[in-house]
Chains A and B, each alone.
Chain A
Amino acid sequence: MPAAIRIKNLTKVFPVPFRRERVVAVKDLSLEVEPGQVYGLLGPNGSGKSTTMKIVLGLIPPTAGSTEIFGRESLKVDSREDVGFLPENPYFYKYLTGRETLRFYGKICGIRGRALEERTRELLELVGLEQAHDRRLGGYSKGMLQRIGLAQALIQEPQLLVLDEPTAGVDPAGSRQIRDLILGFKERGITVLLCSHLLGQVQEICDRIGILHRGVLVREGRLDDLISIENQTELILENASPDLLARIERMVRDETGVRIVEQRKPQTTLERYFLEVTGIDGKGTEAHKS
């Protein structure tokens, strides 16, 4: 099976209007995303992430090099049959309701009639917007807009999702909901190319990452390989007595070249603590109401 995304020696140069200068947004970038992978493309602002995404989606042509989606050249329209895209901070047509939005995107993907109605209903349920299906998008919250954005990206059942900052500006509950949805895509074998500044979230869901800096891919590889500390081991015990801990410490001291680097009580994440305190569950609703 061909790679979900194949980028070969990609370079993109933008001319600066009214000047002779040129800005190199991406320089000789090569990477591959395997089918079923969740790939995190990281980098500071202006590092070339969005430009790379746009070239992959065929929205802008490369200056040099090539990009392919499942073996089909990105600039060809039919390569987008298998792609769903959620841009950063999208504003969909405010005058449409959630259901109308999905119908519109379904129609432009060639889905019609009962199949479209069924698909719209399923996706509204998937992203938890079935109660808000007849509300206009102008009245949706940021989190709801991101979720309807995810639903439109999924309308034609793509095998590749390109998500640009999918949780930007979303509250912790909404953010967790979106993260859970992405994990659901991963379970079902959908390839995800994710751009995010939230490194904690990327760490939770990505299999592989690439770090772009000034248009150059400075690191690339499996997340576990890149961030694990090879010569250290983490051991988390439950209900360990002080006596047992003292024995372990003694055993470690007796070994040559081995030492306890740190001993502390594990902490919950601030996100989990926040959700616990506010009583909001994974679906974004207050637990006592559900």
Chain B
Amino acid sequence: MKAADAALDRPARTRHKTFSPTRILAISSNTVLELVRLKVFHFFLLFALLIIGSSAFMVNFSFQEQFQVLKDVSLGAMSIFTWLLAVLSTAMLLPKDIEDRTLYTILAKPVPRFEYLIGKLLGVLVLLLIATIVMGGMFAATLYFRQEMVIAQGMKDYAGSTQAEIDAMVRQVHESTFTWSLLPGVVLIYLKAALFASLTLFISTFASSWIFTVIISVVIYLIGHVQATAREYWMLTGNLTPVKQIFLGLVALIFPDLQLFNLIDDIVVGNVIAMSMFVKTAGLGVIYLGVYLLVAYIVFAGKEL
């Protein structure tokens, strides 16, 4: 019998499962492949140019200043790039599948809608993880390279000094470069981007176009950054009517307070972040991510395709 005939005659079906990690994995790996083949990783080049360029302009600074600026520029760029990647790549996923009718072919298979959404989000989260690791690696490599350059220069400057003085110089350089607080900083950058991926996915379940989704995400990003300041201002002026109180409460509930994620600023200047503070912020990020995903599912489950 020809293979083509066998294709119609032999069943290949398996029993349907209510929840299948295999199906989610298939959708998420396809999402990663989609974004990779769209060449979204080209921005790495821009990131590399930015941090290498910024370190080249700092030769006249003290080494402490050099490392601080390098950390500031690199972590700031990582934060913006991962956020942009999260919003732009998530915004087009759902509308494109609907426009191309690909969504029909997927949901006409035994795939529950929540698995489709989780698969898509997971794909973006994996992509963001790869981006964070690669950018983190580039940042660490640049920092290490600069550190070794500064130590080599120090060795020349400290020629004839005692071993204790040289050791102190090396220790001082090391303390200005790699500190353990950099790791929670990078984790928070990732979580902030992941939170926005989930939020953007939620917006795309009811938005009319991907441009609308991006605009709303940007507006929420701005609200998230200024809401704490606005709240403080109103509280300080004492001009807090019940209506304003309800309004502020709603804003605080719906939109994430992104100022909380600005622990990175403290990390850059060398402050040690308390573990409890880090866990609290990370937990908040995970909760927001989960809540946005849940609301996205509620909207998407009732959506008429």
List residues of chain A with CB under 8 Å of any chain B CB.
Answer: 14, 54, 57-61, 77-78, 80-81, 83-93, 95-96, 104-112, 115-116, 119, 121-123, 125-126, 149, 152-157, 162, 184-185, 188, 190
Q: Which 3 A-B pairs have the closest CB atoms?
A: A122-B7, A107-B26, A85-B108
Closest Cβ of chain B to A218, distance in Å, is 25
Q: Mark B3-29, 1 if CB is under 8 A from A, else 0.
A: 110111111111111101011011100
Inter-chain contact B23/A107, CB cutoff 8 Å: yes
**7 new A-B contacts at CB < 8 Å, known A105-B105, A119-B12:** A80-B111, A110-B14, A110-B20, A111-B12, A156-B13, A157-B12, A188-B8
Inter-chain contact B20/A122, CB cutoff 8 Å: no
Inter-chain contact A78/B110, CB cutoff 8 Å: yes
Q: Does B37 contact A (CB under 8 A)?
A: yes
Q: Does B33 contact A (CB under 8 A)?
A: yes
Closest Cβ of chain B to A164, distance in Å, is 9
Residues from chain A with Cβ under 8 Å of B9 in the complex: 188
Residues from chain A with Cβ under 8 Å of B22 in the complex: 107, 110, 112
Q: Are A77 and B102 also in contact (CB < 8 A) when A110-B14, A110-B20, A188-B9 are? A: no
Q: Which of B9, B22, B105, B112 gathers the greatest number of chain A CB atoms within 10 Å?
A: B105
Inter-chain contact A108/B108, CB cutoff 8 Å: no
- Residue from B8, B15, B109 within 8 A of A184 (CB atoms): B8
Inter-chain contact B7/A119, CB cutoff 8 Å: yes
Q: Does B246 contact A (CB under 8 A)?
A: no
Q: How large is the interface on B (under 10, 10 to 19, 20 to 34, 35 or more residues)?
A: 35 or more
Q: Does B106 contact A (CB under 8 A)?
A: yes
Inter-chain contact A156/B12, CB cutoff 8 Å: yes
Residues from chain A with Cβ under 8 Å of B12 in the complex: 106, 111, 115-116, 119, 155-157
CA distance A150 to B270 in the complex (A): 60
Residues from chain B with Cβ under 8 Å of A95 in the complex: 33-34, 37-38
Q: Does B156 contact A (CB under 8 A)?
A: no
Inter-chain contact B102/A91, CB cutoff 8 Å: yes
Residues from chain B with Cβ under 8 Å of A77 in the complex: 16, 18, 110-112
Inter-chain contact A80/B8, CB cutoff 8 Å: no
- Residue from A58, A85, A93, A123 within 8 A of B34 (CB atoms): A93
CA distance A188 to B8 in the complex (A): 7
Inter-chain contact B305/A60, CB cutoff 8 Å: yes
Considering only CB atoms, which chain B residue lies closest to A187 in the complex? B8
Residues from chain B with Cβ under 8 Å of A122 in the complex: 3-4, 6-7
Considering only CB atoms, which chain B residue lies closest to A123 in the complex? B7
